[in-house]
Structure 1
Amino acid sequence: METGVKTKWNIDAAHSEIAFKVKHMMISTVTGSFEDFEASVETEGDSFERASFNFRASIDSINTKNGDRDSHLKSDDFFNVEEYPEMTFKSKSFDGDKITGNLTIRDVTKEITLDTDFNGIATDPYGQTKAGFEITGTINRKDFNLTWGAVTETGSIVVSDTVKLVIDLQFIKES
């Protein structure tokens, strides 16, 4: 059986966001994002069935709108940016509703599955073909050796183990 022509789609970073949400002291939510990231998709033609996704983010680009917190997240208590400057994701399967692949943070690679909404394909006013996705899910930060923890005097956990991922991606088809 002959396979179709491979099509490459590159991230449109201006219209994409890699965000996460973590409970703080179990009463509020801190939102952060990675400002420096790359992603691409390889498809057969314009069909995203069985598409292959690749993603990389620079840990040094983490932004929670608080410099002290960002510095703490970059330290060995969490990401250890000096030794592990990137996190990566490589998909193993995509069925239109879920994407499964290997997420690597620090020195740990684990298979995760994320809910995926494929929002379709459109052509922008400049003639570029674009595809949009909304990807959500949760991971346990301690699974990836992000193990720092503290408890307040009243017994509240300072940082939740559960991290929500909220990823909005727009890709541009290579011409």
Structure 2
Amino acid sequence: MTQWNIDPGHSQIGFKVKHLGIANVSGFFRAFSGTVQTDNENFEHATVTFTLEVQSIDTNNKERDGHLTSNIFFDAAQFPTITFNGVLANDTLKGELTILNNTRPVTLQVEHTGSGIGRFNDHRAGFEINGKINRKDFGLNFHLLNDAGNLIVGDDVKLSGEIELIRL
């Protein structure tokens, strides 16, 4: 069994959600950790776990970030982390995502972007991850319409990750 850790200095986990039905608002989490365990070098059937620190959310707007970490959305005081546990097979990562203590199955698309030796002779591997969830499936039920009848915050959330792993 080989273990790999996410290199947070060379990785990013982000999201996009529609605002007013007209444009996307993007954000990411500044603090996260994760591991990948595999029996082979091609990562087939690797087990993947990661944890996001909710308080580290960053949408480039402090007021909105405060709103997102409040009890109206993520309730960081009561639910400080978002977790995922899954298995990678055939460029698909299937697992269980937990937000607000609600656990649901999620399928993400994965592209292995390369492997090689790092600057300090360490073994590294890169991945791009993409998927989509419905926020209401996880209890993120904030619901407000504008005068035109559009949702202030869309239901679908696009997930993305640029992940670099270091083999231990």
User: TM-score normalized by structure 2?
Assistant: 0.97
Write the distance in 2 (CA, Å) between the matches of 1:171 and 1:162. Answer: 28
Q: Where does residue 51 of structure 2 map in the other structure?
A: 56
Following TM superposition, by how much is the alpha carbon of 1:46 offset from its aligned partner in structure 2, in angstroms?
A: 2.5
Q: Which residue of 1 aligns with 2:134?
A: 140
Q: Quick one: distance in 1 between partners of 2:135 and 2:162?
A: 21
Aligned partner letter, 1:94: L
In structure 2, C-alpha distance between the alignment counterparts of 1:32 and 1:170, rounded to whole Å: 19
Identity %: 40
SS of 1:151's equivalent in the other structure is: coil
Q: 2:101 aligns to what?
A: 107
Are 1:73 and 2:77 matched, yes or no?
A: no
Structure 1's consecutive aligned runs of 4 or more residues displaced over 3 angstroms after TM superposition are none
2:117 pairs with one of 113, 123, 127: 123
Quote the residue 1:3 is aligned against.
none
What's the TM-score, normalizing by structure 1? 0.93
Q: Which amino acid aligns with 1:52?
A: T
Conserved in 2, the CA contact under 8 Å of 1:96 and 1:117? no
State the shift of 1:118 in Å: 1.1
In 2, Cα distance between equivalents of 1:45 and 1:117: 17
Separation in 1 of the partners of 2:41 and 2:130? 23
Given that 1:48 and 1:96 are in contact with CA atoms closer than 8 Å, whether structure 2 keeps it comes out as no
In structure 1, stretches of 5+ residues that fail to align are 1-5
1:59-90 Cα distance to aligned partner (Å, 9 max, x none): 00000011110111111111111110000000
Aligned equivalent of 1:14, options 5, 9, 16: 9
> Which of 150, 153, 158 lines up with 2:152 in the alignment?
158
Structure 2 unaligned residues grouped into runs of 5+: none
| Paired residue secondary structure (2:46) | strand
Equivalent residues, number? 168
Measured against aligned partners, the alpha-carbon deviations of 1:96-129 in whole angstroms (never above 9, x if no partner) come to: 3100000000010001100110113111232111
Q: Secondary structure at the match of 1:49?
A: coil
Shift of 1:10: 0.7
Deviation (angstroms), 1:45: 4.0
3-state SS of paired residue (2:44)? strand
Matched AA of 1:123: I
Alignment of 1:77-92 (within 5 A): 77-91=72-86
